Structure 1
Amino acid sequence: MYEGLFGKAAQERAIAEVEAEMARLCELLAEGLGMGLDAGREMVGGAMSGFLAEFFDLLPGKGAGPGMDVAITLPLLVHGVETGEPGPARPIAVIHLLWWAAARRLDDLGNDLSGAPGGQALTALAVGGHLPARLVADLPVTGAVRAALHDELSRAWLDAVDARLRDLAEEPSAATPESVLRRYEGRTGAPYGMAAASAARLAGAGPRCAGWRAFGRTLGVLRMLADDQRDLASGRCEHLAAGTATYLLAHLLDSLPARRREEVLDLFAAARVPGAGTGQGSARAELAARMLDDDVLDSYAAAVAPLVERAHSLVDVLGGDPGCVRELHGLVDETAGGTPGFRLAVA
């Protein structure tokens, strides 16, 4: 069966190639190389190499492996849409993975009530910010394209930090579906937008880059919504334990009368306790059950449907290589329909 320019088999090969590039980068970093600088930086290089190895080892246990595949294929598909050649965007896929390795670790450190290890935080900053900047500096592109890629990377980090600070500042009782979506646009929308727009810039897409950034941001928000669902469906309930007001929680609270709303907020407070003792586990399980109630999920899916439609619409408007356009629609559908025990409605 003909799969087109970038069908499943081609995507699997591309993912394997990017993973091989990451493995090679880790080897170079361990030797104090791979940073576009002269030798003699074995300490920071070794720290980054070990950091990345740990990140990729932990992904399967967190159910995040498929998400990293999407992180890789998104920039490849955008470049393929624009030029017919997905391959040249591999460096952007690597940068996107580096961003996520750093962001996930910084997020974990921010949720660690015992205090964040300084070395891990410093290494995360090097992996997610400075190493991508060095990789961009080494790309064989014009100065204008290089500056644009640096702009996309900086924009993503500033938007993500802004969103995380909003996370920390906003009381769960004050969270609304709108305020949570704004945070999601920064936390996951910004890096996906960066990956899509960077690939478009590498392809010379000109003014179309803004459209690809918008698509990436929308897809990133959908990925976060799906991650929320997986977290509950898996029983990990990490967001509840961290005291994070997710969109699903805000949606539930928004639908309740005052008395029942207070009951849910009390459960949420009880669930946010270090460890997983009997009381905490019971509160998390009860709150998760309420959030996964069929009626709640039905109304939640209806509320999310316009985002799914927006993502599809952006791909249709931007157009390009038909095979890659089809696969981008597939990324949206996979995100909307890949959540355990729940399928996001499509408008």
Structure 2
Amino acid sequence: MAAEERTENPFRLLPLPVLGALTGDPDAALPVCVLSALWWAGAEALDDLMDGEFDARGVGMTASQTMVAATVCLTLLPQTLIGRIGLGAERERFWTRELTASGMRCAGGQLDDVDSSGVLSWRRVMVGYAGKTGAPYARDAVLSATLAGAGAGSEELRGWRVFGELFGVLRQLANDRAASTAREDADLANGTWTLLLAYAAETLTPAELAALLDAHARAPDEPAARDAVWNRLRRPDLMAGYNRRITGIHRRLSALLHQLARPSHHREQLRRLVDASATTALLTVGDGVA
């Protein structure tokens, strides 16, 4: 899954400032935060199982038990929560549909994440990011907006969905940037197509790209190939172009936020979350070159 960073993650408290920006009362979004925490617990457990990082001794459960628990966290517990918080019949149906639809989008993004067949492109990888990490954040923003009275199908709700999705993409980009060396890069170890790799695919000459993709295919098994990919992707001219793409996402999110919410302390909190994510995602010259 190459999941966005875990535990005590303030960015996953997005529902609080979203609802605060709309109503001035963030506390009413706590049920959305609980639903989100349950869902992420299940997603992270599955992530560890898929990536071979599951620690049965540390977790205190077998892999089979963890699979069952993760499934419950992803589906049954959030559904049970929705049925118990007194949303009213119409809103309860919407929340249930949203939980299911976002889960399906995330699953689709995960499937894209492990599929390295076909043509590598920015658009293709962006669609995967918008699913695997964007969909959960979009869900949380949308559910929060409904608590402020936004109706299903409204322009306001569509705006918050786009905001949450792009914010999730930015969070995934920040996570992509987390490794400080090639040996720490889980995406290289797993052969994952990232947006940085996709940007390189659209920038390099055919010969350069062929060499890069060959090294990337060998990277999971060959440390030297992993170093070669890492260094190639951190060439200053390529990093500058990639950073411009990140800056474009940042600007779009900032503009959208100003359209969706009036000036307030809570909107400022959202802006800081967006700014921090963009800053963390940017590459810098000399970043951990092997």
Pairwise same-fold verdict (TM > 0.5): yes
2:217 is matched with which residue? 269
Cα displacement (A) at 1:240: 0.9
1:293 partnered with 2:239: no
Letter in 1 for 2:207: R
1:142 is matched with which residue? 88
Within 2, Cα distance between the matches of 1:270 and 1:65? 32
Alignment of 1:172-191 (within 5 A): 174-191=119-136
Q: Would the aligned equivalents of 2:177 and 2:280 in 1 still touch at CA under 8 Å?
A: no
Residue number among 168, 173, 177 corresponding to 1:220 in the alignment:
168
Q: Structure 2 regions of 5+ residues with no counterpart?
A: 55-61, 286-290
1:132 partnered with 2:74: no
Residue number among 239, 242, 248 corresponding to 1:306 in the alignment:
248
1:34-55: CA deviations, max 9, x gaps?
A: xxxxxxxxxxxxxxxxxxxxxx
1:280-304: CA deviations, max 9, x gaps?
A: 2222222112212222110101123
Aligned length: 273
SS in 1 for 2:208: helix
State the TM-score, normalizing by the size of structure 2.
0.86
2:137 is matched with which residue? 192
SS in 2 for 1:338: helix
Cα displacement (A) at 1:321: 5.3
2:206 is matched with which residue? 258
Alignment of 1:73-152 (within 5 A): 74-112=14-52, 117-152=63-98
1:240 is matched with which residue? 188
Cα displacement (A) at 1:113: 10
Classify 1:180/1:201 alpha carbon distance in 2 versus 1 (closer, same or farther; 3 Å). Answer: same
Classify 1:103/1:177 alpha carbon distance in 2 versus 1 (closer, same or farther; 3 Å). Answer: same
Letter in 1 for 2:28: P
> What is the RMSD of the two structures over their aligned residues, measured on CA atoms?
2.4
1:166 partnered with 2:112: yes
Residue number among 242, 255, 259 corresponding to 1:317 in the alignment:
259
1:124-160: CA deviations, max 9, x gaps?
A: 1111211111111110221111111112211110101
Which deviates the most, 181-190 or 230-239? 230-239
Within 1, Cα distance between the matches of 2:228 and 2:116? 23
Classify 1:130/1:260 alpha carbon distance in 2 versus 1 (closer, same or farther; 3 Å). Answer: same
Letter in 2 for 1:202: L
Q: Would the aligned equivalents of 1:137 and 1:146 in 2 still touch at CA under 8 Å?
A: yes
Alignment of 1:47-86 (within 5 A): 64-65=6-7, 68-72=9-13, 74-86=14-26
Within 1, Cα distance between the matches of 2:115 and 2:232? 25
Letter in 1 for 2:124: S
Cα displacement (A) at 1:320: 3.2
Letter in 2 for 1:135: L
Classify 1:175/1:109 alpha carbon distance in 2 versus 1 (closer, same or farther; 3 Å). Answer: farther
Cα displacement (A) at 1:69: 1.0
Cα displacement (A) at 1:338: 2.3
Q: Would the aligned equivalents of 1:189 and 1:220 in 2 still touch at CA under 8 Å?
A: yes
Q: Would the aligned equivalents of 2:182 and 2:230 in 1 still touch at CA under 8 Å?
A: no
Letter in 2 for 1:296: L
Within 2, Cα distance between the matches of 1:186 and 1:282? 32
Within 2, Cα distance between the matches of 1:324 and 1:234? 38
Q: Would the aligned equivalents of 2:246 and 2:281 in 1 still touch at CA under 8 Å?
A: no
Which deviates the most, 289-298 or 86-95? 289-298
Within 1, Cα distance between the matches of 2:87 and 2:7? 31
1:205 is matched with which residue? 150
SS in 1 for 2:114: helix
Within 2, Cα distance between the matches of 1:233 and 1:195? 33
Q: Would the aligned equivalents of 1:84 and 1:321 in 2 still touch at CA under 8 Å?
A: no
Identity %: 30
Higher RCO (CA 8 Å, separation ≥ 6 residues): 2
Letter in 2 for 1:126: V
